[in-house]
Amino acid sequence: MILLQAENISHKFDYPLFNNINLTLKTNESIAIIGVSGSGKSTLLHILSTLLKPDSGKVTLLERELNSLKTKELVDIRRNRLGMIFQSHYLFKGFSAYENLEVAALLSNEKIDDTLIERLNIQKVIMQKVTELSGGQQQRVSIARVLTKKPNIIFADEPTGNLDSETAVDVMKLFDEYIKNHTAGMILVTHDEQLALKCSHVYRLEDEKLIQVK
Ligand SMILES: Nc1ncnc2c1ncn2[C@@H]1O[C@H](COP(=O)(O)OP(=O)(O)OP(=O)(O)O)[C@@H](O)[C@H]1O
Ligand SMILES: [Mg+2]
């Protein structure tokens, strides 16, 4: 099944970022997007994940074209079908790590998966307030929060940027298992070429184009 299809996407801010980009994500696949800082990777991820409307082009998610959706349908897809892990974590700061997972579980009608907490090695800090956690611990809580929702498409912008390389590899394994065992796929933006190469496909954003390198 095709989870995401982007056709002829173009966007500019002060200068053109990309032109006529095409991308397809299928079930059980992961795509890495690499490229120099400022090339537009985060912007592209925002477009693919419904947060930003492109200047032109079409995005189809889970067989529904975004332009044709009403706000309520869009909110519903975001809440239940998409998992977003962005550069800033968007955890609820006044809550404990566990309460953040509870909110995600409640909103998406899923159960908290204790093995996930152990896999991410956050069991010791799970009852602490988010503000008391280190950057890497917060990053792992936000990964647990997103996977708790059981999304079909994971959008991740430097999800392992605050982690040591060993933990980063573990987290990539977890993502890989998740997408293999669910009707799911992932689009990952990263500066780490070794992590990128663990994905099914790799693209480089360069000269306003998306060039496939794997
Ligand atoms: N909302 C915005 N308004 C105006 N310009 C923007 C906006 N968002 C991004 N830009 C510009 O678009 C360009 C690409 O930004 P983007 O964040 O997509 O790059 P990136 O490839 O993710 O970089 P990095 O690797 O540093 O995260 C930058 O020059 C940035 O200033
Ligand atoms: Mg970015």
Give the CA radius of gyration of the chain: 17
pLDDT score recorded for residue 89: 72
Is the CATH code 3.40.50.300 the one for domain 2-92+153-212? yes
* Pocket flag, ligand 1, residue 39 (CB < 6 Å): yes
Q: Where are the domains of the chain?
A: 2-92+153-212
Confidence of residue 74 (pLDDT cuts 50, 70, 90): very high
Name 48's Cβ contacts closer than 8 Å, sequence gap at least 6.
4, 6, 23, 59, 155, 187
pLDDT score recorded for residue 198: 95
pLDDT score recorded for residue 123: 97
* Pocket flag, ligand 1, residue 190 (CB < 6 Å): no
pLDDT score recorded for residue 159: 93
* Pocket flag, ligand 1, residue 41 (CB < 6 Å): yes
Calpha distance 128→130 (Å, rounded): 6
98 phi/psi in degrees, rounded to 5: -65, -40
Query: Which atom of ligand 1 sits closest to the CA of residue 189?
Result: 22
With a cut of 80, say whether residue 103 has pLDDT above it. Answer: yes
pLDDT digits (tens, 9 = 90+) for 132-147: 999 999 999 999 999 9
Per the CB < 8 A criterion, the answer to whether 4 and 10 are in contact is no
Mean of pLDDT over the chain: 95
* Pocket flag, ligand 1, residue 43 (CB < 6 Å): yes
Confidence of residue 191 (pLDDT cuts 50, 70, 90): very high
Buried/exposed code over 105-115 (b: 16+ C-beta within 10 A; e: otherwise): beeeebebeee
Which residue has the CA at smallest separation from atom 25 of ligand 1?
Answer: 37
With a cut of 80, say whether residue 88 has pLDDT above it. Answer: no
Residue (of 1, 29, 46, 3) closest to 18 by Cα position: 46
